Amino acid sequence: MNKVSRFHLLLIFLGGLVLLFIIAPLAGLFFNTSPKDISDSITDKEVSKSIWLTLLSAMAATLFFSMLAIPLAYILAKKSFPLKRLVNGIIDLPIVIPHSAAGIAILGVISQQSFLGSSLSKLGLNLVGHPVGISLAMAFVSIPFLINAAREGFASVPDRLEKAALTLGASQMRVFFTISLPLAWRGIISGLVMMFARGMSEFGAVIIIAYHPMITPILIFERFNAFGLKYARPVAVLFIIVCLLFFIMMRLLTKEKKNVSNN
Amino acid sequence: MFQIINLSKKIDNFFLNDISLKLEKGDYCAVIGISGAGKSVLLELIAGLLKPDKGHIILNGIDITQAKIQKRSVGILFQDYALFPHMTAFQNIEYPLINKGLAKKDRQTLVQNIAKNFDIFNILNRKPSTLSGGEQQRVSLARTLITNPDILLLDEPLSSLDILLKNELIPLLRNINRKGQTIIHVTHAYEEVISLANKVAIIENGKLIQEGTPADVFRNPLSKFTANLSGIKNFFEVSVIKNNKNENIALIDNKIEILFLSDYNVTTGYIVIDSSDIILSDKPLKSSALNNFEGLITDIIPSTLGIEISVDIGVIIYANITATSFNKMNLKRGDKIYICFKSSSIKFYMK
């Protein structure tokens, strides 16, 4: 008995160290920043502009790509087809490659030397240094989170409910919109939150595509580089608060009274 | 009215092979087989959830083999009801009507009418998770039947239910069938359907090995599987009377009286006497068993369970004994024999 409790104490101690590892730097950041510095950052136009740009770019990336990613997640969850494992692997690629390398890869597609870039520039749109380019970079690195969570959501919808709906006269599309989608909603929302949050905090890929206009992670980097830790810290704290607010808000949205798939 | 002709389907290592079946309107057909025999595949083929490799499905003279699921007029009651958990009972029942494009007012009237018939009117605004098993069952049946399908398919609807819910659902299914609804009911447990079905089909390893009336099939089993349906050969339709001690007597053909235990207060039903529960003796036997008869041995057949002895006591009763007992008793066709069995060994099923 005594042995077990000592073992548990050891586990708690080790687990506590991990929590401390996460919390301590963040807490240090907060404690070392005065409220005045934070309020100055809020009124700093450059800061607020970059926060809005970051939020809107991540939001646009999430919403636009969700229209493509959710159907793909459904196919991956419900259908078998040749090379499915390969497709699943491809989806996880952006997670494993360095994000600066991902930025270089995207730049190769949208720069004016590429077919797409030159075609778009003829229409007067240069994606490099453009909010759309920022959204693309954010989407590239964050889309696996949405696809994987949505796929799990769809996989948790029992096949027999979809079959039942078909035998009750529903078309495949109606089954998707009235049964599969509402029942997978929790997984999808959680995926949207993850994609949005991941996109918002992206630095490596975005800095290759667009140093300007400046998203907040780049602004923090620039202030640190140019003026040092003291000047970077208030912006970092403010951005973390904004991220946390969105994170908590969306987690609350996904917190349902009951898991709908549990009948 | 409904016919399956040479239906075949291969899925991975499983092969549903050359199934043919014919039903008239109002038939209640029990498809009996162990798990993995192919029952569910057969249902999914009929419903259109799977497409056959070969064969035809004919409904009301029209070949629906390749017809879309939505155009088939076939309803399925799934084993666990498959109610949509995010919709209320009302929305569940209304779902197929929206698919049919009915106006809101018509949908409301239809749902309310069927809800009254199924005694679920008061729970229409509730979600499935708040309903009892019996209520979920009735909501699911109402949802399946609201579009008046020509065929109702039941996928083991009773197997996961406790005895109370079974006793609720069996009369409900019987009533639905009596109103003319054709039903195909797949199950692994013959006891479930013995009092409901007028046709039985036995399916084994993807093949339909026997079909006919329950009496035909159970008294003349063509396979080890059917024979192993415990003692099912002694299957009789009976009328029920009370003796002067107020005990239940089952009357076979109005002449053979068999004492049995039952709480039911009914006048007709079915009884099954397990052929292994019957004791044979060459002399009248003094025992605690209340059912004692004298008869003649009409047949002796080696069976999968030992030796099957047919005894004519006015009706034919089948008894299974071991080969050792058979050799010891030295039985021959035409011998006079005494049989006895306990009243508690008789299974009674309501009609």
The answer to whether the peptide bond before residue A213 is cis (omega within 30 degrees of 0) is yes
CATH (domain of B303): 2.40.50.100
Backbone angle region of B38, left / alpha / beta, with phi > 0 → left and psi within -120 to 50 → alpha? left
Query: What is the chain A residue with the closest CA to B142?
Result: A168
Backbone angle region of B334, left / alpha / beta, with phi > 0 → left and psi within -120 to 50 → alpha? left
Q: Which of B48, B99, B129 sits opposite A168 (nearest CB)?
A: B99
Asked if A168 and B129 come within 8 Å (Cβ–Cβ), the reply is no
Q: What is the mean pLDDT of residues B239-260?
A: 89
Alpha-carbon distance of A170 to A175, in angstroms, equals: 6
Handedness of CA A196, A197, A200, A201 (dihedral sign): negative
The H or E element that residue A246 is part of is: helix A229-254
pLDDT tier for residue B224 given thresholds of 50, 70 and 90: low
A256 touches chain B (CB under 8 A): no
Task: State the virtual CA torsion across B318, B319, B322, B324 in degrees, nearest 10.
Answer: -110
Residues of B in contact with A258 (CB under 8 A): 129
| Residues B160 and B296 occupy one common structural domain | no
| Residues B157 and B303 occupy one common structural domain | no
Q: What is the reported pLDDT for B85?
A: 96
Residue entry with tokens 């380019």: A133
Q: What is the reported pLDDT for A263?
A: 39
The encoded tokens of residue B217 equal 């099939």
How many Cβ pairs within 8 Å bridge chains A and B?
Answer: 65
One-letter amino acid of B126: R
DSSP A193-216: HHHHHHHHT--HHHHHH-SSSPPH
Query: What is the chain A residue with the closest CA to B91?
Result: A178
Nearest CA to B145 out of B184, B111, B99 is that of: B111
In a domain? residue B229: no
Asked if A167 and B74 come within 8 Å (Cβ–Cβ), the reply is yes
The encoded tokens of residue B141 equal 């049946």
Q: Which of B76, B80, B100 sits opposite A167 (nearest CB)?
A: B76
| Residues B248 and B117 occupy one common structural domain | no
Instruction: Give A73→chain B minimum CA distance, Å.
Output: 21
| Residues B193 and B105 occupy one common structural domain | yes
In a domain? residue B228: no
Asked if A183 and B86 come within 8 Å (Cβ–Cβ), the reply is yes
The encoded tokens of residue A253 equal 């949205």
| Residues B23 and B141 occupy one common structural domain | yes
Q: Which of B48, B85, B95 sits opposite A168 (nearest CB)?
A: B95
Q: Pick from B220, B245, B263: which residue ends a domain? A: B220
CATH (domain of B9): 3.40.50.300
Query: What is the chain A residue with the closest CA to B45?
Result: A167
In a domain? residue B270: yes
Residues of A in contact with B74 (CB under 8 A): 167
Q: Which of B84, B94, B111, B160 to mutate to probe the A interface, most A CBs <10 Å?
A: B84
In a domain? residue B273: yes
Q: Which positions ≥6 away from A150 have C-beta within 8 Å? A: A69, A70, A73, A74, A77, A184, A187, A188, A191
Asked if B82 and A170 come within 8 Å (Cβ–Cβ), the reply is no
In a domain? residue B226: no
Q: Is the pLDDT of residue B76 over 90?
A: yes
Residues from B in contact with A at Cβ < 8 Å: 44, 47-49, 69-70, 74-76, 78, 80, 82-86, 95-96, 99-100, 128-129, 143-144, 147
Beta bridge partners of A36: none
3-state secondary structure A134-173: HHHHHHHHHHHHHHHHHHHHHHCCCHHHHHHHHHCCCCHH
Asked if B80 and A182 come within 8 Å (Cβ–Cβ), the reply is no
| Residues B89 and B195 occupy one common structural domain | yes
Into how many domains does chain B fold? 2
Neighbour tally for B303: CB within 10 Å: 17
One-letter amino acid of A75: I
In a domain? residue B269: yes
Q: Which of B44, B72, B95 to mutate to probe the A interface, most A CBs <10 Å?
A: B95
Digit-by-digit pLDDT tens for chain A (263 residues) are: 556 688 999 999 999 999 999 999 999 999 999 999 999 999 999 999 999 999 999 999 999 999 999 999 999 999 999 999 999 999 999 999 999 999 999 999 999 888 888 898 888 888 899 999 999 999 999 999 999 999 999 999 999 999 999 999 999 999 999 999 999 998 999 899 899 999 999 999 999 999 989 999 999 999 999 999 989 999 999 999 998 888 887 778 777 544 444 43
Residues of A in contact with B64 (CB under 8 A): none
Higher-confidence position of B132 and B226: B132
Q: Pick from B185, B220, B255: which residue ends a domain? A: B220
| Residues B295 and B183 occupy one common structural domain | no
Asked if B49 and A167 come within 8 Å (Cβ–Cβ), the reply is yes
Alpha-carbon distance of B45 to B15, in angstroms, equals: 13
Q: What is the reported pLDDT for B283?
A: 86
What does the pLDDT look like over B98-112, one tens digit per residue? Answer: 999 999 999 999 999
Query: What is the chain A residue with the closest CA to B77?
Result: A164
Instruction: Give A23→chain B minimum CA distance, Å.
Output: 39
Nearest CA to A91 out of A68, A64, A114 is that of: A68
Backbone angle region of B119, left / alpha / beta, with phi > 0 → left and psi within -120 to 50 → alpha? left
Q: What is the reported pLDDT for B295?
A: 94
Q: Which domain holds residue B211?
A: 2-220
Q: What is the reported pLDDT for B247?
A: 86
Asked if A258 and B82 come within 8 Å (Cβ–Cβ), the reply is no
Q: Which positions ≥6 away from B239 have C-beta within 8 Å? A: B250, B251, B254, B267, B268
Alpha-carbon distance of B307 to B328, in angstroms, equals: 13
The encoded tokens of residue B238 equal 């009976």
φ, ψ (nearest 5 deg) of residue B311: -120, 125
A80 touches chain B (CB under 8 A): no
Asked if A167 and B95 come within 8 Å (Cβ–Cβ), the reply is no
- Do B295 and B317 meet the contact criterion of CB atoms below 8 Å apart? yes
What does the pLDDT look like over B2-46, one tens digit per residue? Answer: 999 999 999 888 889 899 999 999 999 999 988 888 888 999 999
Alpha-carbon distance of A36 to A45, in angstroms, equals: 16
Q: What is the reported pLDDT for B191?
A: 74
| Residues B70 and B199 occupy one common structural domain | yes
Residues of B in contact with A262 (CB under 8 A): 85, 129
| Residues B176 and B31 occupy one common structural domain | yes
Q: Is the pLDDT of residue B287 over 90?
A: no
In a domain? residue B336: yes
Asked if A260 and B86 come within 8 Å (Cβ–Cβ), the reply is yes
| Residues B210 and B322 occupy one common structural domain | no
In a domain? residue B205: yes
The H or E element that residue A219 is part of is: helix A216-227
Helix, strand, coil distribution of chain B in percent, nearest 5: 30, 35, 35
Q: Which of B69, B78, B128 sits opposite A160 (nearest CB)?
A: B78
Asked if B95 and A170 come within 8 Å (Cβ–Cβ), the reply is yes
| Residues B68 and B150 occupy one common structural domain | yes
Q: What is the reported pLDDT for A249?
A: 79
A258 touches chain B (CB under 8 A): yes
Quote the ipTM score: 0.82
Q: Pick from B220, B255, B289: which residue ends a domain? A: B220
Question: Which A residues 144-173 touch B at CB under 8 Å?
Answer: 158, 160-161, 163-171
User: Does the predicted TM-score (pTM) go above 0.80?
Assistant: no
Percent of chain B with pLDDT over 90: 52
Mean pLDDT for all residues in chain B: 88
- Do B7 and B52 meet the contact criterion of CB atoms below 8 Å apart? yes
- Antiparallel, parallel or unpaired: β B268-273 and B346-350: antiparallel
Instruction: Give B84→chain A minimum CA distance, Å.
Output: 7
Asked if B84 and A161 come within 8 Å (Cβ–Cβ), the reply is yes
Instruction: Give B248→chain A minimum CA distance, Å.
Output: 43
Instruction: Give A176→chain B minimum CA distance, Å.
Output: 13
What does the pLDDT look like over B123-169, one tens digit per residue? Answer: 999 999 999 988 998 999 999 999 999 999 999 888 777 778 888 88
| Residues B187 and B261 occupy one common structural domain | no
Asked if B78 and A165 come within 8 Å (Cβ–Cβ), the reply is no
Alpha-carbon distance of B163 to A79, in angstroms, equals: 38
Residue entry with tokens 């075609």: A119
**How many Å separate Cα A155 from the centre of its chain?**
21
Q: Which of B47, B80, B85 sits opposite A167 (nearest CB)?
A: B47
Residues of A in contact with B139 (CB under 8 A): none
Instruction: Give B95→chain A minimum CA distance, Å.
Output: 7
Q: Is the pLDDT of residue B340 over 90?
A: yes
Residues of A in contact with B78 (CB under 8 A): 160, 163-164
